[in-house]
Homo-oligomer: A and B are copies of this chain.
Amino acid sequence: MTWTLQNDFVNNETVADNGNRFLIGNGYMGIRGTLEEHGKEQLAAVNLAGIFDKVGDGWREPLNAPNPLHTVLSVGGETLALPEKQPISHTQGLDYRHGIFFRKTTWAVGGGEVTVDSQRIAHMGRYHLILHRYRVTASAPMRLEITADIEDDIWELHGPHYSETAYEIQDNTILCSAKVQNGKDRVAVGRSCTLEGAEASYAERAKGLCFQVNLEAGKCVTLVSISAVCTTADSCSPEEKVVELLQEADYDTLFASHKDAWEKIWEAGEVELEGDDLARDTLNYSLYHLNSIAPRHADNLSIPARGLSGQTYKGAVFWDSEMFILDYFLFTQPEVARSMVRYRIDTLPGALEKAKQYGWQGAFYAWESQEGGFDGCSDYNVTDVFTGRPMRTFFKDKQVHISSAVARAIMQYVLVTGDKKLLAQGGARTVLECARFYYSLLVGYASSDRWEIHDVIGPDEYHERVNNNAYTNRMALATIRWALDGAKLLRESDPKAYKNFCAQTGAEELLPKLKKAAEKLYVPVPNEKGVIEQFDGYFSLEDADLAEVRGRLLDAKEYWGGAYGVASQTQVIKQADVVTMLEFFHNDYSVETLKANWDYYAPRTEHGSSLSACMYALLSCRCGDAKDAYPFFMKSAQADWLGGGKQWAGLVYIGGTHPAAAGGAWKVLAQGFGGLEVENGVPVVKPCLPEGWKKVTLKCCVHGKWYRLELTQEKGKIEEL
């Protein structure tokens, strides 16, 4: 396989997509796959993880750093920039084996040809560093001017986040310190430039350096930049740290160690697949995206819904992380999974606080979790295209299933890694507080003996404020059971910690209540046709054809959901909902039931979310039907490979990469086609491969031991390494 994705043209229509498709990153930062000459109009950005700012009434969102890749070439006063100056040839792309962005562009200019040939990496291991090599070759003698700076006029959705930027230039090093308008934070960026291969004079500019070079015919000149990014979230003196990092940096050594680091990642994380090159390539490309945003530099960070591809969705962590992304890391890089899970445990105080604000008990996790568990979600998350008014949405206050995702992540972590210590380290408490939250939501009619959950939004966000959403109720029930299990495991494995846990949580009073709740909590059951109603009254809604509903749109950007959206009063749903529930609890249902629900909901699902396809694929596999699963699997695996995708929710921009689809693609591969589960502390598989697939090989780590899984049409083979 080539491990390369590339694109041979650039125009205003593709530039945003390319920014996502050719993204590089190392978990600390994500650098969009735009070109050196690009600025904010082309959505160029160095997105930072875990540091946020809020300007006025705008949304709270992560910071983009001033851009140290900004480099502009001009020849005889003419700027060579895409797409304005049309090239003779152009290619840009990504070596996704090693996280290397590259471009090569040739322009006709000054009576000859000039070629820019560049590459860059966000170093895997030295997370603050960016390496950038920019080589210019000329076919005729030419006078070049290369401007290398740190651009502070950057793309921001709800900025401006910087109130002031200060520049300092020392020899060939540009230093930029940007003050965040919150008065608390700073972002420091340094860029050390070396020009190789030709004599040059240089001049200082406001934001950087300008090199003047007289290049001979057939010769090249190379601008080598090593840049560093630090923030007050990393260091109390980020400017000094940047200088320090740049001093000891050596391009070639760093480049080699970067590639080694990626090779190590693939050693465990690659999926080999014989018989379907496109599936193999797109899947590994998806895994590249996951790896390039995995929070390896921290021990309690998670992955935002749009990765590090922009400020979209406020850089926040959604249920995507636990329900779609986590499993890949759990099985292949448990230390990353641990960081993701610890993020949730460590942000428990934010979840307790949120529950209290709404009058509930226990832990109500943020729908859009930022640092400290702060909920970045607004009460007005969609803009009405007809009136321009913000629409009251209920993602934040009613999408209560988020806490169950957290509980699942903790218990899944314990199940796969066997690491019960996490339970004593806050894990059991967190699960218990999630269960306490659901307990506080339970209502019962005076005239009935069962308990229900009312007024929620399920995964299908188009239907607001519904009662007894099957997914939510089932996950709440699971959470209550996990809390009971977690407490039991803790009591058995660490009696002393259990005592503390009880003292801290009042578990001894709560656990019997949870036992009762587990008996009384109503979960919708299949009807006579085997279909589970998504929520009370769903079957009474208009059973309109999806295409017809789409045809009712008056504006392509209008929101399908909310009170009056085209889908709201119909059975058309945004994404897998009952299907997601059945996938996670497939062992509780007959194959007939799984199939009946798949058949019912598939034609009614818009797949308006990239989370949807993988759940349909997984459930198909549970029904033994790899053929039905395959197109949904490919949709997930290609979510970023192909680009495109839904860019708007109302007037809100939601573009970027799709880590949940990537994680979902792996889940389909390993858990769907492979049937991977953990039983008694060891992996088991039960392959159900698509036609034409000869062999799938992947590795996984269960209870600290590594295994190689070989799956063929006939059987699955598990070898301990």
Contact between chains at A446 and B554 (CB < 8 Å): no
Question: Would you call A268 an interface residue if the criterion is a C-beta within 8 Å of the partner chain's C-beta atoms?
Answer: no
State whether A569 and B439 are in contact (beta carbons under 8 Å apart), knowing that A444-B444, A446-B444, A446-B451 are contacts in the complex: no
Contact between chains at A563 and B392 (CB < 8 Å): yes
Contact between chains at A384 and B447 (CB < 8 Å): no
Query: A435-458 CB contact bits vs B (8 Å, 1 = yes)?
Result: 000011111111100010011000
A455 in complex: contacting residue of B451, B455, B563, CB < 8 Å: B455
Q: Among A387, A442, A513, A564, find the residue whose CB has the most chain B CB atoms closer than 10 A.
A: A564
Give the residues from 564 to 593 in chain A that come closer than 8 angstroms, CB to CB, to chain B.
564, 568-569
A447 in complex: contacting residue of B392, B440, B454, B569, CB < 8 Å: B440
A387 in complex: contacting residue of B386, B391, B443, CB < 8 Å: B386
Which 6 pairs of residues, A with B, have the shortest CB-CB distance? A563-B563, A442-B446, A386-B386, A443-B443, A440-B447, A446-B451
CA distance A55 to B657 in the complex (A): 52
| A564 surroundings in chain B (CB, below 8 A) | 384, 387, 389, 391-392, 562-564
CA distance A513 to B569 in the complex (A): 36
CA distance A520 to B447 in the complex (A): 13
CA distance A387 to B441 in the complex (A): 37
CA distance A220 to B458 in the complex (A): 78
Q: Among A439, A440, A563, find the residue whose CB has the most chain B CB atoms closer than 10 A.
A: A563
Contact between chains at A454 and B454 (CB < 8 Å): yes
Give the residues from 443 to 487 in chain A that come closer than 8 angstroms, CB to CB, to chain B.
443-447, 451, 454-455, 465
State whether A517 and B446 are in contact (beta carbons under 8 Å apart), knowing that A563-B562, A563-B563 are contacts in the complex: yes
Question: Would you call A92 an interface residue if the criterion is a C-beta within 8 Å of the partner chain's C-beta atoms?
Answer: no
A441's nearest neighbour on chain B, judged by CB, is B445
CA distance A517 to B442 in the complex (A): 19
Question: Would you call A671 an interface residue if the criterion is a C-beta within 8 Å of the partner chain's C-beta atoms?
Answer: no
A355 to chain B, nearest CB (A): 12
A552's nearest neighbour on chain B, judged by CB, is B389
Contact between chains at B568 and A392 (CB < 8 Å): yes
| A554 surroundings in chain B (CB, below 8 A) | 387
State whether A446 and B443 are in contact (beta carbons under 8 Å apart), knowing that A386-B387, A564-B392 are contacts in the complex: yes
CA distance A718 to B147 in the complex (A): 100
| A520 surroundings in chain B (CB, below 8 A) | 446
| A389 surroundings in chain B (CB, below 8 A) | 564
15 additional A-B pairs beyond A443-B443, A443-B445, beta carbons within 8 Å, are: A361-B447, A391-B563, A392-B569, A441-B445, A442-B445, A443-B446, A444-B446, A446-B517, A446-B520, A447-B513, A455-B455, A465-B465, A562-B563, A563-B564, A564-B564
A477 to chain B, nearest CB (A): 13
| A513 surroundings in chain B (CB, below 8 A) | 446-447
Q: Among A387, A446, A520, find the residue whose CB has the most chain B CB atoms closer than 10 A.
A: A446
Subset of 9 A-B contacts with CB under 8 Å: A389-B564, A391-B563, A392-B564, A439-B446, A442-B446, A443-B446, A446-B520, A562-B564, A563-B563
| A445 surroundings in chain B (CB, below 8 A) | 440-443
CA distance A455 to B455 in the complex (A): 8
CA distance A96 to B226 in the complex (A): 94
CA distance A71 to B57 in the complex (A): 65
Query: A342-370 CB contact bits vs B (8 Å, 1 = yes)?
Result: 00000000000000000001000000000
Give the residues from 518 to 571 in chain A that come closer than 8 angstroms, CB to CB, to chain B.
520, 554, 562-564, 568-569
| A465 surroundings in chain B (CB, below 8 A) | 465
| A454 surroundings in chain B (CB, below 8 A) | 443, 454-455
| A443 surroundings in chain B (CB, below 8 A) | 443-446, 454
| A387 surroundings in chain B (CB, below 8 A) | 386, 554, 564
A454's nearest neighbour on chain B, judged by CB, is B454
A251 to chain B, nearest CB (A): 56
| A444 surroundings in chain B (CB, below 8 A) | 443-444, 446
| A562 surroundings in chain B (CB, below 8 A) | 563-564
A558's nearest neighbour on chain B, judged by CB, is B387
| A391 surroundings in chain B (CB, below 8 A) | 563-564
